Structure 1
């Protein structure tokens, strides 16, 4: 387990060393979490953003707020990486029945991805979603410590992002299937957090509608482009693939997922839950972007939305290694193609230095600071007040 954790961190470092060597704020880290924690204190824990709550992100911002502004990026990045590492280590729990656990852990860092979901506060909610998937797959808690830990994870992660809404039906099905008190309590907690998020969404301004009309062909193209093409082809090949080919890949993806979920055999419940979680995230993404799917015409556009589906596809493939015959060899081949796709674009996009210390000195002096620049091209202002 320790070797796997070390290898995981080494891969992350190799793909984007500046995350460790020069931690920086990212997107909403500055204008939302840093500024509001600084300005409103503990009250900011109850604030929603983009129509829903991000409790863990707010909590990290609140804990980091007393620090010198110079240290805030390191705190955000460091704690975000610790949460990710905790999820990785949880894969080795005896309560989880995943095969080839070191491979499943490394897959989180090795999938073809832009890396925007890793090493920043804004996108930590996607890591929390993996934590909820872990709860979904894990055996029932058997000790008081495990019960309390599961409850905290369900509440904190359930109130961080909208994934409790997507996974609540799966936890309910899990409770019905197991018929145990532990699974029922966990389902109730997730449903409660989903209810809070749904209420918040219902009382928030609607997302501006785009101009596109969603079609079945557009969904097939999107699925083919952002899952099999992005996972198993080098980036240049995926971008150059004819739209008709991507349509076919999208249809084949749906068929493959259905067969994977429902074909009889070993570990059917695990396969069903993984596919259901993957489909829930994909369906929510398509619904969210239904009027603007062309925003995904490049592989690095909105890749955070594909982080969970890509990881779960990798886990499903790794699960096939323990099967016999053609399933074993086909999943091994697919994983080889996945790794080759990653190798062709090994280095995450380099993050330019936005010179946060220059702004931090002025923030600590209580100045009003405008034009603070963050990756990936965000600019915000600090209202100005003495932080001590």
Structure 2
């Protein structure tokens, strides 16, 4: 017989006393992995994402107030704007490097928070390191503009995980949930998980959990306000290709486990379903799978008219969170109280994911037009007015200070 939910929560609430060394050790290992995986970005840092010049320009104009209240893509972007603000303390010539390395450090913080938040030390460390090990072309790791995709991976673990026993972990969880709530729209998508946490906190009189829920849901409401009030330019939608888009997204979703629909992908889907009904950590897996399909549905709706948007490695960031959460599901089965054959199949699928990750190339990306000669601009910034133009049709006047 399997213990009930109450026994599961008691077992998960035992957080080891060595939280601090595990936290910093996981962050360090994550950073070392990044040095090897995205060395092409770290060796030649640049402003390659079209969002970064906007964040940079706003920080140049006013580092520490107005930019944090300016939505981009319809929502607030706290993490990249914080990096842009801190970069203003450094010479302009090192800003591209500062942005890239700071984004890796923020991702390492996400890994570190995961390492001390899942209840079991080994499982938490693996969760954190999987952020750097799943199949991906590098799009989310090398720029602050995509930090929201990395940080969102921790939300199900924080929403459904145990009550942390140490102030160190609690402080990090509070700061992380606040930062993530104000960075991107994923707190809105994960809101049902936080409602579940609220019900659990009420039932168990968990004051810390109630505080986490309050921060998460308030952040979700703030982002929802900005999204609901954004100015949208209506254009011709064109012909809908819902079925083709669905198939394309489905193929990309199973790609981290299997190159095509076959035995591996069938086993993968079977384990996802089985994990919802067996084991102590089935609530965890339910949260992971819920967020996977929430993102799946959002992407399907957004690209229903452009089914060819995901050919090759295009739009790779949209499949990063599903890949990570699928890896979390497999990892949780390995550490759970389930049949040993289920553990073995989950382990084989997870190892297969890691081998496939090694086959996916980290794609180099060219810097945006005006940043190609960043050093040439850097010594002029602040000394004279500079008019810069970059795609799609943006122009900024960098005024002399």
Shorter chain as denominator, the TM-score bin is: 0.7 to 0.9
Query: Residue 78 in 1 paired to residue 93 in 2?
Result: no
Paired residues of 2:334 and 2:343 also in contact (CA < 8 A):
yes
In structure 2, the residue matched to 1:39 is 61
- With over 3 angstroms needed to count, the CA separation of the structure-2 counterparts of 1:331 and 1:292, relative to structure 1, is same
Paired residues of 1:16 and 1:350 also in contact (CA < 8 A):
no
Partner SS for 2:381: helix
Pairs within 5 Å for 1:281-360? 281-298=295-312, 300-322=313-335, 323-345=338-360, 347-352=361-366, 354-360=372-378
In structure 1, the residue matched to 2:216 is 190
Partner SS for 2:110: helix
Paired residues of 1:223 and 1:250 also in contact (CA < 8 A):
no
- With over 3 angstroms needed to count, the CA separation of the structure-2 counterparts of 1:315 and 1:73, relative to structure 1, is same
In structure 2, the residue matched to 1:122 is 145
- With over 3 angstroms needed to count, the CA separation of the structure-2 counterparts of 1:143 and 1:111, relative to structure 1, is closer
Q: 1:158 aligns with which of 178, 181, 194?
A: 181
1:128 Cα shift?
A: 2.1
- With over 3 angstroms needed to count, the CA separation of the structure-2 counterparts of 1:20 and 1:52, relative to structure 1, is same
CA deviations on 1:157-182 (whole Å, 9 max, x unpaired) are 10110011011111111221342332
Partner SS for 2:190: helix
TM-score scaled by structure 1? 0.84
Structure 2: how far apart are the matches of 1:325 and 1:223?
A: 32
Structure 2: how far apart are the matches of 1:348 and 1:363?
A: 32
In structure 1, the residue matched to 2:251 is 225
Bigger shift: 136-145 or 281-290?
Answer: 136-145
In structure 1, the residue matched to 2:73 is 50
1:39 Cα shift?
A: 2.1
Bigger shift: 17-26 or 79-88?
Answer: 17-26
Structure 1: how far apart are the matches of 2:178 and 2:382?
A: 34
Bigger shift: 270-279 or 189-198?
Answer: 270-279
Partner SS for 1:112: coil
After superposition, the CA RMSD in angstroms is 3.0
Question: Where do 4+ consecutive residues of structure 1 move more than 6 Å?
Answer: 248-255
Q: 1:139 aligns with which of 159, 162, 168?
A: 162
Partner SS for 2:379: helix
- With over 3 angstroms needed to count, the CA separation of the structure-2 counterparts of 1:119 and 1:106, relative to structure 1, is same
Paired residues of 1:57 and 1:122 also in contact (CA < 8 A):
yes
Structure 1: how far apart are the matches of 2:154 and 2:329?
A: 17
Structure 1: how far apart are the matches of 2:334 and 2:279?
A: 14
Bigger shift: 330-339 or 24-33?
Answer: 24-33
Paired residues of 2:257 and 2:264 also in contact (CA < 8 A):
no
Structure 2: how far apart are the matches of 1:9 and 1:146?
A: 20
Paired residues of 1:53 and 1:160 also in contact (CA < 8 A):
yes
Unaligned runs of 5+ in 1: none
Paired residues of 1:111 and 1:231 also in contact (CA < 8 A):
yes
Structure 1: how far apart are the matches of 2:296 and 2:120?
A: 24
In structure 2, the residue matched to 1:21 is 43
Bigger shift: 145-154 or 285-294?
Answer: 145-154
1:101 Cα shift?
A: 4.0
Structure 2: how far apart are the matches of 1:106 and 1:152?
A: 20
Partner SS for 2:275: helix
Paired residues of 2:333 and 2:343 also in contact (CA < 8 A):
yes
- With over 3 angstroms needed to count, the CA separation of the structure-2 counterparts of 1:307 and 1:95, relative to structure 1, is closer
In structure 2, the residue matched to 1:211 is 238
Partner SS for 2:115: coil
Bigger shift: 377-386 or 72-81?
Answer: 377-386
In structure 1, the residue matched to 2:280 is 266
1:186 Cα shift?
A: 1.8
Paired residues of 1:223 and 1:253 also in contact (CA < 8 A):
no
Number of aligned residue pairs: give it. Answer: 368
1:285 Cα shift?
A: 2.2
TM-score scaled by structure 2? 0.81
Unaligned runs of 5+ in 2: 1-21
Pairs within 5 Å for 1:96-115? 96-97=119-120, 99-115=122-138
